């Protein structure tokens, strides 16, 4: 799903930037440059919203996976993870 949305958004962002910066030559109507900047800005905002939604979906999926484990399994994972990373975290903060 990510590729299907990010690719066209990146194309819109890229092409609108080319137009706004007049890369391929001057644009006689200044209004078009303003439109291109608006399209670029809106594309950036849409991409950022999409990335935020994608991140939230990934976090929720991880939470559902975590909750699918039995309580003893979750406790074992937490203790095991702490034994491996805890001392490093404590020494790094000192």
Residue 4 has a pLDDT of 87
Q: Is the pTM of this model over 0.85?
A: no
Question: How many CB atoms lie under 10 A from the CB of residue 40?
Answer: 20
* Interval 38-82: pLDDT, tens: 999 999 999 999 999 989 988 888 888 888 888 888 788 878 877
CA 14 from centre of chain: 17
End-to-end alpha carbon distance in the chain:
42
């Amino acid at each position: 799903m990510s590729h299907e949305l990010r690719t066209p958004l990146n194309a819109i962002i890229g092409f609108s930037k080319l137009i706004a910066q007049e890369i391929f030559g001057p644009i006689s109507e200044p209004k078009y440059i303003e439109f291109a900047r608006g399209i670029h800005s809106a594309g950036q905002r849409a991409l950022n919203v999409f990335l935020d939604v994608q991140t939230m979906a990934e976090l929720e999926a991880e939470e559902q996976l975590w909750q699918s484990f039995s309580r003893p399994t979750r406790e074992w994972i937490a203790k095991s993870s702490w034994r491996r990373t805890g001392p490093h975290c404590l020494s790094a903060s000192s």
